[in-house]
Amino acid sequence: MKKKVLLPTAVFWMLVLGSVLASCDNRADLLKAKVDKVAGSLSASFASIRESEEDFIKTASDVYSHLDRYNLSPKHMDVKDGGIFDTFEGNKYYYKTVKEGASFYVSPMKPMNDTIRRAVGAVQLLEQPFKKSYDKNSDLLTGNFFGVHAPTSIGMLYPWIDVVSQVPPGIDFHIFEWYTRGIQSTGETIWSKGPFVSLLYGWVEDIAAPVRVGGKSLGAIVMPVGIDKVNEKYFKNETENLFLLGHDLTLVAANSPARRALKLKVIEDIDYVKQMKENSFASTAYQLSDPNQSALIQAVAKKISSGEKSFEESEGGATWVFFVGDVKETGFYTVGFLKK
């Protein structure tokens, strides 16, 4: 009969400790891999949106450079003449009555003339490539906008929305930061400086670019990414503690475990409707570096700002391990953390 070999107590606890440490290292490695994977996937999604916008710009610029190739006949635009456009509040603006494809907003604030009709016809030529640019990235986009400001404000939005109930007549697109950012570009696509409020779509991060012909900007395309869609696709269903930061360290999105663990508040906690102001960027109160944040959160902000990708911070007797990933397309950060 074999005798049982009993390990000395010290050896036993060393083995236990080694097993625990190995388990912690494994959890940390898995979390770091997850953070990098989410950052890479999100960056690839943002890059795909940019590429779709660039494709649309090329198509639109070609169309506007060769309008003589197309029939821009002003016939059959009005419903009364067999067309699909009707007036709203007299002649303040025209809208597309068919509830499919893109919706149109045409606001001359005066009776329609042939010049404006032909301009609308030019925009209509782009409806299908415009739809395609959205459909390719519909998992993150909230709705595309393409507009020109001459000879009058003409806007195209996809998917279709009821412009009559949501958009007042007489809008000059230049009042919107996203439009001026687009038309003032010399040709390149430009991401917004951070998430902001769209009164149509809520919190978004968008990319804008001009349609240029002969060195002049005729209009702009804007493709807004819904922050709620980003959260739904990349963070909501993850079991690890994960959150997303803007380039200025604004808390853009976080899953429930992360919110509970560090009492995080993200921009989606703000009721954007109550702000009642288009183009409102997130309050600095939602930045990790804000003085009102906890000492732990402010310390994390300093480490991320200094470029550290993995580090530890302690608070109240607990030590947390953080990992940071770069969303290279927009300069955002994905962050994951666990208790040591």
**Whether residues 213 and 298 fall in one domain:** no
**Whether residues 222 and 305 fall in one domain:** no
* 237 lies in some domain: yes
Residue 280: exposure state from Cβ atoms within 10 A (0-12, 13-18, ≥19)? middle
- Contact in structure between 91 and 146 (CB atoms under 8 Å): no
Mean pLDDT across the chain, nearest whole number? 89
CA 109, CA 27: separation in Å to the nearest integer?
Answer: 63
Among 228, 250, 284, the domain-final residue is 228
pLDDT tens per residue across span 177-186: 999 999 999 9
* 9 lies in some domain: no
Residue 116 has pLDDT above 60, yes or no: yes
> What is the token pair recorded at 277?
């102001």
* 190 lies in some domain: yes
Q: Bridge-partner residues for 215, per DSSP?
A: none
What domain range is 292 assigned to? 230-339
Domain CATH for 65:
3.30.450.20
* 28 lies in some domain: no
Among 206, 228, 250, the domain-final residue is 228
**What residue has token string 């709203």?**
88
Residue 85 has pLDDT above 60, yes or no: yes
* 314 lies in some domain: yes
CA distances from 150 to 34, 88, 154, 281 (A): 48, 20, 8, 28
Strand locations in 14-116 (E): 85-88, 93-96, 103-107
**Whether residues 200 and 330 fall in one domain:** no
**Whether residues 301 and 221 fall in one domain:** no
Instruction: Report how many domains make up the chain.
Output: 2
| DSSP H or E segment with residue 78 | none
**Whether residues 202 and 299 fall in one domain:** no
- Helix, strand and coil content of the chain, in percent to the nearest 5, comes to 40, 25, 35
pTM for the model: 0.89
Residue 135 has pLDDT above 60, yes or no: yes
With a pLDDT cut of 90, the percent of the chain lying above it is 71
CA distances from 158 to 52, 107, 147, 210, 323 (A): 14, 18, 12, 18, 38
Residue 9 has pLDDT above 80, yes or no: no
Residue 277: its pLDDT value, please? 55
* 250 lies in some domain: yes
**Whether residues 105 and 208 fall in one domain:** yes
pLDDT tens per residue across span 235-280: 999 999 999 999 999 999 999 999 999 999 888 887 655 554 556 6
**Whether residues 52 and 188 fall in one domain:** yes
**Whether residues 196 and 54 fall in one domain:** yes
